[in-house]
Amino acid sequence: MLATDRDQLPAAREKRPTDRDQLLNWIKSQPELTFLRKKANETRLIYDKKTDEITNRIKVYKEPTYKPNENKLGKLFELIWVPGRKLRGKAYGDTNFDMQLTQTSSIMSLSTVWDFICTYPVIYYFAKASGTLVLPISSLYAFLLLGMSNAAGKFAMNRSKDNNKTASFLLAVFFLLSLVKTLMSGVGIDLISQSRSIKDQAALNFLETKELNQKEPQQAYKDLLISSNKECERLASEQAKLDTSKRGQRRLYREFQEQMNKRPIFENKVEPKYLIDNYVTDLGSCTKKDLINSFIGKSALEDNKTLDAKNNLRNSLSPLSYSYVFHRSQYHNLFKGNPLAGSESNLEKYKEIFNGSNIDFKIDCLESDNECKGEVRWTNPGKAINEASTQFYKKIKNKEFDKLGFSFIGFVISILLSMTAVVLLFSASLNLKIRASRSNYIQALRNQIFTEMKDSNN
C-alpha cells in the first residue's frame, strides 16, 4: 500500500490545480460574478482537433479585423444619461459597486435632464435673436449645457492623488451650473405656463407708473378743484350756523372767513396758476376754488364723460388691451401683436366719446403696421426673462404660492435633485473602490498577474 501510494504521488502532483484552474473555480463559486460567467457562456469558441497540444485546441473566436459600425445614437444617449460604469476607472470593479454608481449617475442625470426641460424656455428666449434658426440654436445651447454638467460631474469622481484638486474644482463647476439652472427652472416653466399672465402684469406695472406720474391734462387741477370746492362748502355751512349777535360766535365767524379766503399778500398782481402751483398750502379752500376756476373754467366739473368711459374700460379690459388702446406707442416698446384681435367691434361705440378729446384712443391696425399684427409677443426677449424672473421671485417672497402653480413645484424638485446629486457625487468620489478603479498600480498588478498565469499554462 505504501509503495503504491508512493508511486501515485507524482501523478497526484501533476493533477494539482493550476493557477488558472483555481481562478476559474473561484469565479464559478462567486455569486456576484454571475455576469462574468454569463459573458463567458455567450463567448463563441473554436475547437481545433488538429492541434497537438490539448490545452490549445479550444480558442476564442476572433472578431473580423474590420471595425463594426459604432452605435453613435447610444454614445449620444450616454452623454445625456451617464452610465454608472463611466464614473469609475477600469482597474477595478464589481457588481455591487457598479450598482451603487448607477444610482449616483441616475440621480445626476435626472437632475441635469430635469434642469434641461425647465430651463429650455429661458435659453430659447435668449436665442431668439437668431431668427428662424432659434429652435436648433437654442437646442444646441441647452444640450451643450447639459453635457457640460454631466461631464463635470463625471470627471469630479476622479480623486486620484494627482487629480484631487481638479476633481474638487469640477465638482464646484457642477454645483454652480446646477445652481444657475435651478434659479432659472421656475422662471422657465412660468414662461410657458403663464406667458399671458406675465405680459399682463408687465403691462399693469407700466400703466401704474405711467398714469401715476402722467395724469390727463389738467386732471391734477380738477382733483384739487373738487376737494377745494367740498371744503369751501363745508366751512360756509358751518359759518352759516353761527349767531353773529353773540360775541364768541362772531370771533369764530371771522376765523372761518379767514380760513376760507386766506391768500398770501403780494404787492404786484400774480397769475392764479402761479399761486396754485407755488403757494397752494397758503391758500384758503374757497380761494383755491376761485383761482382754479379762473384758468380751467367751471366746465371741468361737468365734462367727465370721456374720463368715466376711460375708467370703465380700465376695469373691463386686460392691462395688455388697455395699454394697446390708450398708450399704443408705449405699448410697442414692450410688445408686438394685437391683444384685441377679433374683438375690435366691441369698442366701436367708444369712438364717438373720445373723438375730439385730448385722450389717445386707437383700436385699429393699419395694413402697413406690422408691429400690431399677429399674437402678442415681446419686443425684447431679454425683457421677457427679466419680467418672468422678477414676478416669480416676488410671488415667492410674498408667499403667493397659489399663483405659482407647477413652476414652484418644478423649482423645488430642481433644488432637491441638484443637492442630492452634489452630495452623492462627493461621497462616492471618496470611496476607496473609486480610487482603486483608477489606480495605475492596481491596473499594472492586474496585468502582471494575468500575464504570469498565461505564461505558466503555455
- Domain membership flag for residue 393: no
Burial 122-136 (b: 16+ CB within 10 A, else e): bbbbbbbeeeeebee
Domain check: are 169 and 251 in the same one?
no
- Domain membership flag for residue 377: yes
Q: What share of the chain is helix, strand, coil (3-state, %, to 5)?
A: 75, 0, 25
**For all residues of the chain together, what is the average pLDDT?**
81
**How high is the pLDDT of residue 178?**
95
Confidence of residue 214 (pLDDT cuts 50, 70, 90): very low
**How high is the pLDDT of residue 139?**
93
Contacts of 336 (CB under 8 A, 6+ apart): 371, 372, 374, 376, 377, 378, 379
Calculate the CA dihedral of residues 27, 33, 39, 43 and round it to 10 degrees: 0
- Residue closest to 90 by CA, chosen among 407, 449, 446, 358: 446
- Domain membership flag for residue 423: yes
State which H helix or E strand residue 159 sits in: none
- Domain membership flag for residue 453: no
Domain check: are 240 and 348 in the same one?
no
The C-alpha cell that represents 300 in the structure block: 371741468
- Residue 228, pLDDT > 70, answer yes
Look at residue 323 and give its three-state secondary structure.
helix
Domain check: are 171 and 127 in the same one?
yes
**How high is the pLDDT of residue 188?**
94
What domain range is 438 assigned to?
Answer: 73-195+399-442
Domain check: are 353 and 415 in the same one?
no
Measure Cα distances from 161 to 97, 285, 427 in Å.
Answer: 21, 86, 17
- Domain membership flag for residue 448: no
Distance CA 265, CA 273 (A): 16
Domain check: are 205 and 338 in the same one?
yes
Say how many residues make up the chain: 458
- Other Cβ atoms closer than 10 A to 400: 12
**How high is the pLDDT of residue 191?**
93
Domain check: are 93 and 48 in the same one?
no
Give me the residue label for grid cell 382754479. Answer: 292
Domain check: are 206 and 324 in the same one?
yes
Give the tens place of pLDDT for each residue, 330-347.
888 899 999 988 888 888
- Residue closest to 183 by CA, chosen among 432, 394, 392: 392
Domain check: are 346 and 244 in the same one?
no
Domain count, the chain: 4
Confidence of residue 137 (pLDDT cuts 50, 70, 90): very high
Measure Cα distances from 456 to 22, 25, 309, 377, 447 in Å.
Answer: 13, 17, 103, 77, 14
Last residue of a domain, one of 267, 298, 329: 298
The C-alpha cell that represents 30 in the structure block: 462567486
Domain check: are 77 and 166 in the same one?
yes
The C-alpha cell that represents 154 in the structure block: 463625471
- Domain membership flag for residue 389: no
Confidence of residue 303 (pLDDT cuts 50, 70, 90): low
- Domain membership flag for residue 391: no
Domain check: are 288 and 309 in the same one?
no
- Residue 238, pLDDT > 90, answer no
* Residue 194 per-residue DSSP state: T
Calculate the CA dihedral of residues 248, 249, 250, 256 and round it to 10 degrees: 120
Last residue of a domain, one of 354, 381, 408: 381
* Residue 365 per-residue DSSP state: -
Whether the model pTM is above 0.75: no
Confidence of residue 12 (pLDDT cuts 50, 70, 90): very low
Domain check: are 179 and 279 in the same one?
no
- Domain membership flag for residue 450: no
- Residue 217, pLDDT > 60, answer no
Last residue of a domain, one of 256, 277, 298: 298
Domain check: are 52 and 176 in the same one?
no
What's the maximum distance between 2 C-alpha atoms anywhere in the chain? 160
**How high is the pLDDT of residue 2?**
42
Please give the share of the chain, as a percent, with pLDDT higher than 90: 29
- Residue 39, pLDDT > 60, answer yes
Give the tens place of pLDDT for each residue, 369-414.
888 888 899 998 889 999 999 999 999 999 898 888 899 999 999 9
